[in-house]
Structure 1
Amino acid sequence: MNKKLVYATPIAIATAIGLYACGGSVATLPDIKSVQNVVVIYAENRSFDNLYGQFPGANGLQNVTAASAQQLDRDGSVFATLPQIWNGLTQTGVTPVVTQAMTANLPNAAFAIDDPNGFNTPISATTRDLYHRFYENQMQINGGKNDKFAAFADSGGLVMGHYTLNADKLPLWKIAQQYTLADNFFMGAFGGSFLNHQWLVCACTPVYPNASTSPAATSVSTVDPDGVSLTLASNSPASALTGPPKFVNSGNLTPDFYAVNTMQPPYQPSGNKAASGGDANLADPGLATTLPPQTQQHIGDLLSNAGVSWAWYGGAWGAALSATQTGTAGVVYGANLSAPNFQPHHQPFNYFADLAPGTTNRATHLLDGGMNGASFIADIDAGKLPQVAFYKPQGNLNEHAGYTDVASGDQHIADVISHLQKSPQWKNMVVIVTYDENGGFWDHVAPPKGDRWGPGTRIPAIIVSPLAKQGFVDHTQYDTTSILRFITHRFSLPALPGITARDNALAANSGKPMGDLTNALNIAH
């Protein structure tokens, strides 16, 4: 029997942690300075409704009406049925195989991917990938109505898919029940993994100076006057029922040369090889997708300036770097679906000049998480984590649709949390588990209106700590920058410029600032 979710009142919280004193007074709660270690685990590509839409007490699918889930075609008309899932839900080699033809005539509504009376595709099966790009995400959100996800997708009706889960099926669900699940947490930026990793570490959007006269000139997007919509090509299908949209140019750069879709790091390991005869530590700057080194201030700079230890642990980082040096870089260059499927654009600090190859900064702060997280786990077990640690699981363990499944990554992260709970550093630790972005999956909650860059679609976030409120669903408004807010609050660091700009934009749109995650903790405010 599932344990009933308990909503924690202040007295219940104090009682649960032994602070409710005889005679009716409450002892002083610890303050944020009691947090000695912050661990951020960053998974991939799931909207809140996709995984946690049926979590008790959360704002989930029980609040979705037929009208609020209904999707519109590109001309604004209501779909009679959802578009087919182009190229099928799953492909040959995945059980069960669900072809495109088998997805015809889906009702215009949210649906369970794992419904035994439907596609019966469990979380252990890899489904096809979906659009998750900067402009397309904004077009899908459609001003907060969330009604054009199917219209501006390359996966048809799959955008409306979710899983029917519980603590018996999803290990992290059980952990969320024990600690705090945030159900009002949004991805920091519109679009995909590349940009949201940048927002995780600097609350900023990368730049490509003078892109119009660079190798990336053809990557400049063609955008309508509204600044948020891509210009449709003349041969784009009129209806999403007959095919995915075609754009004049959905590139990696904005018209004013910000990098918003996947660009490769200038340093190895990168998705681009070194130039012929060039420095083997660098990616070829003559390739259109190599981003020049970035110089914006990031959270690592603030931590280092304050004398706070920190590190980014990249799963399979060492193996990927070795592969670039030995000429066996199939795990890095180009499309590769074999384990560990390392993704260079998921390593945000590798884009910054102050962490370039050969620097002390790099050797100190960019660490190998090991295959299957083994090196990260070794530091956990030994109590050797720095004060702030980011962990990025390798590709086959990150839950990204298209090249891995939900179950493998979810179990891996739950296993990592088990090690953290046994760590000598656990008693003063806060662990934040979240996803970089929605992966193209629909969510019914409208993102708050912020700045040009975001926030985007709602994603899951779990706060795990001895200080976390137990059995608690936190409805506070958060986004990816809330992680930076928490770190800067705890270590008394200055605010990053992007966070200040985000709050100003939220206020200008009659909104409120993002929270800093402290409402998820039993600490004095």
Structure 2
Amino acid sequence: MTRRSTWRAVPAAALGAAWIASWPGLGHAADTPNLDLIQTVVVIYAENRSFDNLYGHFPGANGLQNLAPDATRQVDRDGTPLAQLPPIWNGLTAKGVNPPVTQAQTEHLPNAPFAIDDPKGFNRSLSVATIDLWHRFYQNQMQINGGRNDRFVAYGNTGALVMGHYDGSTLPMWDVARRYVLADNFFMGAFGGSFLNHIALVCACTPYYPNADQTPAKAQISAVEPDGVTLTAAPESPRSAMEGIPKFLHDSGLTPDFYAVNTMQPPYQPSGNAPPKDGDPRLADPDAPNTLPPQTAATIGDLLSDKGISWAWYAGAWQATLDGRNSMPTPNFQYHHQPFNYFARLAPGTAERAEHLRDGGLVGRAFIKAIDSGSLPQVAFYKPQGNLNEHPGYADIVSGDQHLADIIGHLERSPQWAHMLVVVTYDENGGFWDHAAPPKADRWGPGTRVPALIISPFARKGTVDHTLYDTTSILRFITRRFDLPVLAGLKARDDAMAAAGSGRLGDLTAALDLP
């Protein structure tokens, strides 16, 4: 039995018999919770923060407290410990932020994590945007370095910044985490960046570009060593992290066997690529090297539709962008954050697209209207517009965090709240270091640990849940709750976890008290 306290940890063992019932056809355990009490599932997907970066000081969590130096020390590209961290290349703060923190001001930092908002240090608050960091498929694996997490500095583009974190205790979402459940053993589903982790959220799969070497996309094929993990270094790449940012022979969107792992653009508008000349204005130019062909793998949306379960993806600023009103710094709609827009079943002109791909409105107003009126579908995904998603480089933390908290407030007052489950998580780590070793599984992930909150009237309120999760755990819950077929990617991840001896991924039910 787990002892209950103000901060209560839910161990991985809490999965137990509950996992037996997690997939159709595996039978039902005597203590299977009554999932029918959950009638509405809401998934909110923020951007680019590791767990330690925002929640490393959260009470009761596996965070930064009491870490031995060996658990945080970074090594150089040749494996030798760094005597100090390199400077933050090009300075700490994003373009236009004044006063700036220059590269020279960041020299000679100890080889250890540091607080970006330390009043005695850089004193950059949660309301100040930093520069962006690499968050890419191969670099993330090279940084993780087999679970040692000791080459984030060596294979990043921002020097010391990868080791930066914040005191998040003043954030509105910390208060939400205190009232509900914070999961501190939740990993991003795929290595790398936002594009692949959004795809993982909806299909637990990796996109594919058939015959890419015979198309304009051949320029997108990366040069990778035989281990399948390490990018081939360019001859002029600095040998030491102290000398500069690493350079690679070719680092782009596709693997050598044509899987899309770094950002490619959707084949349909809204897309970062313009329509084809004299072609259908609803499409993106298929001859652009980084336009991904329409994907045909099954998504969680397909399975829900096939069973008559209502669902929708609410994208902040979707309609404004289609109307040509997207701009920096606001709303800064991100095309590659819209995963269903890559799939043929939801192509322009289809009835399913009209039903399921919905405008979240500017500042989420259309999504909030659906919340307040009690008209959310049974499964709802919400993606905030760019300036509210917390992404380094173009968004600060406070604005996005307050937006999330405001959305939670509306959900708590919604007519549907009494039977609702809300999951708030981050797509990926944004290049920031985290000390927890990801479980070993398959070629695609899991990657670095990210924050996740489970919010519900049925949540084990005021607890920290230590159950092993990744992004696909959200799909596992939806699959279990609505008795759906199991996506091929979920089974592949389970098989890989078992083969690696990494245990089993939970389906979020350990965070709930259901009769």
Q: Does 1:109 align with 2:112?
A: yes
Distance 1:437 1:92, change over 3 A: closer
1:30 Cα deviation from its structure 2 partner = 6.0
1:433 Cα deviation from its structure 2 partner = 0.1
| Distance across 2 between alignment mates of 1:301 and 1:91 | 40
- Deviation per CA, 1:165-194: give whole Å up to 9, x if none: 21xx10000000000000000000000000
| Distance across 2 between alignment mates of 1:211 and 1:285 | 12
The count of corresponding residues between Structure 1 and Structure 2 is 492
Residue 427 of structure 2: aligned partner: 436
Runs of 4+ in 1 over 4 A off after TM superposition: none
Distance 1:355 1:9, change over 3 A: closer
Q: Does 1:273 align with 2:274?
A: yes
Taking only the aligned residue pairs, the percentage that are identical comes to: 65
Residue 203 of structure 1: aligned partner: 204
Q: Please point out which of 33, 36, 44 is paired with 1:33.
A: 36
1:337 Cα deviation from its structure 2 partner = 3.2
1:92 Cα deviation from its structure 2 partner = 5.0
Q: How does 1:328-477 map to 2 (within 5 A)?
A: 331=326, 337-477=328-468
| Distance across 2 between alignment mates of 1:205 and 1:30 | 32
1:221 Cα deviation from its structure 2 partner = 0.6
Q: Does 1:127 align with 2:130?
A: yes
Q: Does 1:154 align with 2:157?
A: yes
Task: Tell me how large the CA RMSD over aligned residues is.
Answer: 1.4
Q: Is the 8 A contact 1:135 1:230 kept in 2?
A: yes
| Distance across 1 between alignment mates of 2:6 and 2:131 | 34
1:382 Cα deviation from its structure 2 partner = 0.1
Q: Is the 8 A contact 1:48 1:443 kept in 2?
A: yes
Residue 514 of structure 1: aligned partner: 505
Q: Read off the aligned partner of 1:232 and give its amino acid letter.
A: A
Structure 2, gaps ≥5 residues long: 12-30
Q: Is the 8 A contact 2:94 2:393 kept in 1?
A: no
TM-score for both structures, normalised by structure 2: 0.94
Q: Is the 8 A contact 2:187 2:469 kept in 1?
A: yes
Distance 1:241 1:358, change over 3 A: same
Residue 239 of structure 2: aligned partner: 238
- Deviation per CA, 1:70-107: give whole Å up to 9, x if none: 00110111111111111110145314411111111111
| Distance across 2 between alignment mates of 1:192 and 1:448 | 18
1:5 Cα deviation from its structure 2 partner = 3.4
Q: Read off the aligned partner of 2:497 and give its amino acid letter.
A: L
Residue 24 of structure 2: aligned partner: none
Q: Secondary structure at the match of 1:61?
A: coil
| Distance across 1 between alignment mates of 2:351 and 2:193 | 30
Q: Is the 8 A contact 2:116 2:125 kept in 1?
A: yes
| Distance across 2 between alignment mates of 1:148 and 1:519 | 33
1:437 Cα deviation from its structure 2 partner = 0.1
Residue 225 of structure 1: aligned partner: 226
Q: Does 1:83 align with 2:80?
A: no
Q: Read off the aligned partner of 2:460 and give its amino acid letter.
A: K
Q: Secondary structure at the match of 1:62?
A: coil
| Distance across 2 between alignment mates of 1:356 and 1:29 | 39
Q: Read off the aligned partner of 2:164 and give its amino acid letter.
A: G
- Deviation per CA, 1:206-254: give whole Å up to 9, x if none: 0000000111101101001111000101100011111100001111000
1:9 Cα deviation from its structure 2 partner = 8.8
Residue 52 of structure 2: aligned partner: 49
Q: How does 1:477-496 map to 2 (within 5 A)?
A: 477-496=468-487
Q: Please point out which of 145, 149, 154 is paired with 1:142.
A: 145
Residue 261 of structure 2: aligned partner: 260
Residue 191 of structure 1: aligned partner: 192
TM-score for both structures, normalised by structure 1: 0.92
Q: Secondary structure at the match of 2:52?
A: helix
